[in-house]
């Protein structure tokens, strides 16, 4: 049941992937429907919150404060979680985290684990590592189960299977659960999942999870969810292993006040999600008696080191930016080539990849700012996107086309003589391309024919502009020309 995970190191560029996915009408319809529904619910519940902007500002400050003092809070969390009977492990990268988890599972001697939906374990491709070690991981979140059984990939942080509709889900369940008579009502499908998983919850003795928040002062862990599969995994097994990004810590219990109010409203458009679980290490007689937390770096400290990019780590993974993004809403999540899709993925993934991969992602945006507006912790995603575009160009060296073009433009703008010469040259060069009544030429693609005085086609790299819109021809007389003539009269 192994599947090829989304891996930014091998994924095609966003533009290539998007082109293919845009042709999938069913996918686009499913994505549009899901994001519309969540956005409508979210908007209503955010509007009823009179103090929403105060909550956002508080959330931002808490998350930014954590990042500024991350070493202090990680050490405090480690101290308190250890005191409460848990064991902390540290992992520099995905391979080290995989090794730790596989090692722990092998030590227990089990060949099965149950899992709560966790983007962090997707990020480190844990299921494949477990599989390779002869351990089967059962995903227990309904969406993750759909994806696992369908050998598919997650396309959204919160609702990973939103790209599948009920008929598609029914086909997957019919085939993999051997239920030829299964109906396609969502309730039937959820019921099938309940029956399929119940036996696993009662039998499997080891669970793997991520976490939404770690609380430094108590050594506490907080996981929010809807279905109760999370509670099953956190409560029934003997051992719980949680893989958590180092940035997920918050200082105190009281810091959950704004975060727990904003997360469900932003993520699923609910006042509160059905279940929040909080616990501090091992509690005698209640829940797993062996607890491990793997604190994962995997590129996060490098993001922390970038002053402009650092705010990316404030993210609480609500997915509101994905639902609001006009680009994501067209392409869906898979085009991003990473488990983190949408605007947050467009800034997080390239940074986690040290900008060696996913260089196209900072360009997967129109910079409209909708993501910033809905972000509960006020991550200025457009600002980081522009910052990363700059870094991509710098990293690719002075001979990259974009870098060369910008250098040329800088030279032209620096001197009046060169600027005027460029304008004259431009007017001359564009002549054959400007549409006039006398001349008309075929237009490539679906675009309508350009009107008079407009350019409908440009060669080479410049064609990127005219492939979807026209360019107005330069005026015969510039403002400077007109002004100078006027002075002489």
Judged by CB, which is closer to another protein: 276, or 466?
Answer: 276
Binders of another protein in range 34-53 (CB under 8 A): 34, 37-38, 50-51
Query: What is the rounded distance in angstroms from the CA atom of residue 182 to the CA atom of residue 173?
Result: 8
Q: How many Cα atoms occupy the beta-carbon half-sphere of 284 within 13 Å?
A: 0
Q: Should residue 189 be labelled a site residue for another protein when binding is judged by CB under 8 A?
A: yes
Residue 431 makes CB contacts below 8 A (sequence gap 6+) with none
Indicate the residue among 15 and 40 with the shorter CB distance to another protein: 40
**Position among 62, 129, 157, 172 found at the interface with another protein (CB under 8 A):** 62
Measured from the CB of residue 236, what is the shortest distance to another protein in angstroms?
A: 5
SS3 assignment for 348-389: HHHHHCCCCCCCCHHHCCCCCCHHHHHCCCCCCHHHHHHHHH
> Minimum Å distance from CB 292 to another protein?
14
Instruction: Choose the stretch contacting another protein; rule: CB under 8 A; options: 187-195, 348-356, 387-395, 409-417.
Output: 187-195
- Distance separating alpha carbons of residues 117 and 336, to the nearest angstrom: 19
Closest distance to another protein from the beta carbon of 240 (Å): 12
Q: Interface residues for another protein in 285-314 (CB under 8 A)?
A: 285-287, 295, 297, 301-302, 304-305, 310
> CB under 8 A: which stretch of 65-73, 345-353, 387-395, 410-418 binds another protein?
65-73
φ/ψ bin of 151: left (φ > 0), alpha (ψ from -120 to 50), beta (otherwise):
left
Q: Which two tokens stand for residue 138?
A: 């059962």
What is the enclosing helix (H) or strand (E) of 262? helix 256-268
User: Binding to another protein by residue 433, rule CB under 8 A?
Assistant: no
By C-beta, is 50 or 448 nearer to another protein? Answer: 50
Nearest residue to 161 via CA among 218, 109, 227, 253:
227
Query: Of 370, 201, 209, which is closest to residue 296 (Cα–Cα)?
Result: 209
Does the protein bind another protein through residue 344 (CB under 8 A)? no
Confirm or reject binding of residue 403 to another protein (CB under 8 A).
no
* Least Cβ distance, residue 179 to another protein (angstroms): 15
- Residue 116 is a binding residue for another protein (CB under 8 A): no
Q: Compare residues 261 and 360 and give the one whose CB is closer to another protein.
A: 261
Instruction: Decide: is 196 part of the binding site for another protein (CB under 8 A).
Output: no
Candidate ranges 88-96, 104-112, 341-349, 410-418; the one touching another protein (CB under 8 A): 88-96
Q: Which of 160, 125, 108 is nearest to 3 (CA)?
A: 125
- Please identify, using beta-carbon distances, which residue of 99 and 420 lies nearer to another protein: 99
Residues 266 and 56: their CA atoms lie apart, in Å, by 11
d(C-alpha 66, C-alpha 217), whole Å: 13
370 binds another protein (CB under 8 A): no
Cβ closer to another protein: 316 or 455?
316
Question: Three-state SS string across 9-70, please?
Answer: CCCCCHHHHHHHHCCCHHHHHHHHHHHHHHHHHHHHHHHCCCCHHHHHHHHHHHHHHHHHCH
**Which residue in the set 11, 101, 162, 392 belongs to the binding site for another protein (CB under 8 A)?**
162
Q: Give the CA count within 13 Å in the CB-facing half-sphere of 137.
A: 29
Site pattern 225..264 for another protein (x: CB under 8 A):
-xxxx-xx-xxx---------x----x-xx-xxx-xx---
Supply the minimum distance, in Å, between the C-beta of residue 35 and another protein.
Answer: 9
Residue 436 binds another protein, judged by CB under 8 A = no
Q: Which stretch binds another protein (CB under 8 A): 18-26, 55-63, 334-342, 349-357?
A: 55-63
Residue 71 makes contact with another protein by CB under 8 A: yes
Q: Identify the residue among 122, 141, 152, 470 touching another protein (CB under 8 A).
A: 141
Which C-beta is closer to another protein: that of 131 or that of 302? 302
Q: How many residues bind another protein (CB under 8 A)?
A: 95
What are φ and ψ of residue 7, in 5° steps?
Answer: -130, 115
Taking 3-state DSSP, the helix, strand and coil percentages for the chain, each rounded to the nearest 5, stand at 55, 10, 35
Please check whether residue 234 is in contact with residue 279, taking contact to mean a CB–CB distance below 8 angstroms: yes
Residue 261: phi and psi, rounded to 5, are: -85, -35
Question: Which one of 12, 16, 19, 68 is in contact with another protein (CB under 8 A)?
Answer: 68
Q: Which residue has the tokens 């005698």?
A: 284
Position 266 contacts another protein (CB under 8 A)? no
450 binds another protein (CB under 8 A): no
Q: CB-wise, 20 or 95, nearer to another protein? A: 95
Minimum CB–partner distance for residue 111 and another protein (Å): 19
Helix axes 186-203, 166-177, angle to 10 degrees: 40
């Amino acid at each position: 049941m192994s599947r090829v995970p989304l891996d930014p190191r091998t994924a095609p560029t966003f533009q290539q992937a998007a082109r293919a996915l845009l042709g999938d009408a069913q996918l686009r319809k499913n994505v549009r429907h899901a994001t519309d529904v969540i956005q409508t619910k979210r908007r209503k519940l955010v509007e009823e919150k009179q103090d929403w902007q105060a909550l956002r500002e508080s959330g931002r400050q808490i998350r930014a404060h954590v990042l500024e003092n991350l070493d202090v809070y990680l050490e405090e969390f480690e101290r308190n979680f250890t005191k409460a009977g848990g064991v902390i492990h540290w992992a520099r990268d995905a391979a080290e985290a995989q090794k730790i988890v596989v090692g722990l599972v092998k030590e227990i001697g089990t060949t099965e684990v149950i899992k709560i939906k966790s983007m962090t374990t997707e990020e480190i491709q844990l299921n494949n590592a477990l599989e390779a070690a002869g351990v089967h991981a059962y995903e227990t979140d309904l969406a993750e189960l759909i994806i696992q059984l369908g050998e598919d990939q997650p396309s959204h942080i919160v609702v990973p299977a939103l790209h599948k509709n009920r008929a598609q889900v029914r086909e997957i369940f019919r085939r993999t659960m051997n239920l030829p008579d299964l109906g396609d009502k969502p309730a039937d499908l959820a019921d099938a999942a309940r029956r399929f998983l119940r036996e696993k919850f009662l039998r499997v003795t080891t669970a793997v999870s991520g976490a939404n928040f770690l609380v430094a002062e108590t050594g506490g862990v907080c996981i929010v969810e809807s279905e109760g599969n999370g509670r099953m995994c956190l409560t029934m097994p003997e051992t719980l292993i949680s893989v958590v990004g180092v940035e997920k810590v918050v200082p105190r219990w009281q810091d959950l006040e704004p975060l727990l109010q904003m997360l469900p409203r932003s993520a699923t458009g609910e006042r509160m999600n059905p279940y929040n679980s909080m616990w501090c290490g091992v509690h005698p007689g209640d829940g797993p008696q062996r607890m491990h937390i793997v604190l994962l770096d995997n590129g996060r400290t490098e993001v922390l080191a970038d002053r402009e990019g650092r705010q990316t780590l404030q993210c609480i993974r609500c997915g509101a930016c994905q639902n609001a993004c006009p680009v994501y809403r067209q392409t869906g999540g898979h085009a991003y080539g990473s488990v983190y899709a949408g605007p947050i993925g467009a800034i997080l993934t390239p940074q986690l990849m040290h900008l060696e991969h996913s260089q196209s992602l900072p360009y997967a945006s129109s910079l409209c700012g909708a993501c910033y507006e809905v972000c509960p912790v006020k991550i200025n995603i457009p600002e980081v996107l522009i910052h990363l575009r700059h870094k991509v160009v710098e990293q690719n060296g002075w001979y990259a086309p974009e870098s060369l073009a910008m250098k040329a433009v800088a030279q032209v703008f620096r001197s009046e003589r060169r600027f005027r010469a460029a304008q004259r040259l431009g007017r001359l060069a564009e002549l054959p391309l400007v549409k006039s009544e006398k001349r008309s030429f075929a237009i490539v693609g679906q675009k309508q024919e350009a009107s008079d005085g407009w350019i409908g086609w440009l060669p080479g790299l410049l064609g990127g502009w005219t492939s979807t819109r026209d360019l107005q021809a330069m005026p015969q007389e510039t403002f400077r020309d007109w002004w100078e003539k006027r002075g002489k009269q």
